[in-house]
Amino acid sequence: MTHAWPSAGGHLAEVIGHEIRNPLASAVANLGVLAEMIDERDPRAPFAARAMSDLARASSLLTSYLDLERSGHAEREVLAIDTVVRRACERHATGSVRVEHRDGAPGAMVHGNSHLLERLLENLLENAIGVGARRIEVVTGQHGGTCTIEVQDDGPGIPPQLHDKVFEPFVSGRSSSGLGLALVRRIVELHDGSIALVPSTRGALFHIELPVSWS
């Protein structure tokens, strides 16, 4: 049996986002065609590339904002946390990036939404990869009624002065839209859990706690 979280009241944002998404997608497509028509040695080429990059960032920002609004409407069910973590890790392991998953909680179940939990992990993995991490460890564990997930990367880390603000919208400390970690925190809180950025001598270390489902 599945259950839904109460509405987050994001209908207006959804409508506005839809109206913006269509012309934005058209602009990206048309600029892409124009960029292909310009020789890379043409002095106008860098401007086209910059415009493409800016539009891509705007599109990413819009997607992140809509995901933030939609997250309160998700269905939830009893899930094996290992399956969710493994899927997210497998999608982000590439030839240049090593993503290791160590399951210290075999059989641990949580009550939640698989799409949102995977998105949570994907945001953390993509943030790490985006700042140059080449090795990421994802470790799951269980301590009594609490399931833990730790994500550690070997990137440059997050400046200490941002540790207390890193989960606030538009404060990322990394090269992203600034909504990724805000969405991560929202997803964790919707699952009655907690997340913390733990001081580390190597890269960034995020510690997540979720309540175990015994049903």
The tokens of 29 are what? 């497509």
Cα angle: 116, vertex 58, 5; to 5 degrees:
25
Q: How far apart are CA 207 and CA 212, in angstroms?
A: 16
SS3 content of the chain, % helix, strand, coil (to 5): 45, 25, 30
Mean pLDDT for the stretch of residues 66-90: 82
- Please determine, for residue 109, whether its predicted confidence score (pLDDT) is greater than 90: yes
**Dihedral through CA 77, CA 82, CA 84, CA 88, nearest 10?**
170
Structure-model confidence comparison of residues 73 and 207, the more confident one: 207
The residue with tokens 């470790």 is 139
Burial class (CB within 10 angstroms; exposed 0-12, middle 13-18, buried 19+) of 136: buried
Mean pLDDT for the stretch of residues 117-135: 90
pLDDT, residue 56, reads: 78
- Please determine, for residue 8, whether its predicted confidence score (pLDDT) is greater than 50: no
Q: Please, which pLDDT band fits residue 6 given cuts at 50, 70 and 90? A: very low
pLDDT in tens, 136-169: 999 999 999 999 999 999 999 888 888 888 888 7
Residue 103 parent element (H or E): strand 98-104
Intra-chain end-to-end CA distance of the chain, in Å: 11
The tokens of 137 are what? 């460890």
Q: Please, which pLDDT band fits residue 83 given cuts at 50, 70 and 90? A: very high
Among candidates 103, 84, 123, 110, which has minimal Cα distance to 204? 123
The percentage of the chain sitting over the pLDDT mark of 90, rounded to a whole number, equals 33
pLDDT, residue 172, reads: 56
Between 24-38, 47-61, 88-102, the lowest mean confidence (pLDDT) is in 47-61
- Please determine, for residue 91, whether its predicted confidence score (pLDDT) is greater than 90: no
Mean pLDDT for the stretch of residues 173-202: 82
- Please determine, for residue 3, whether its predicted confidence score (pLDDT) is greater than 60: no
DSSP labels, 143-210: ETTEEEEEEEE-S----GGGTTTTTSTT--SSSS-S-HHHHHHHHHHHTT-EEEEE--SSS-EEEEEE
The tokens of 155 are what? 């990137």
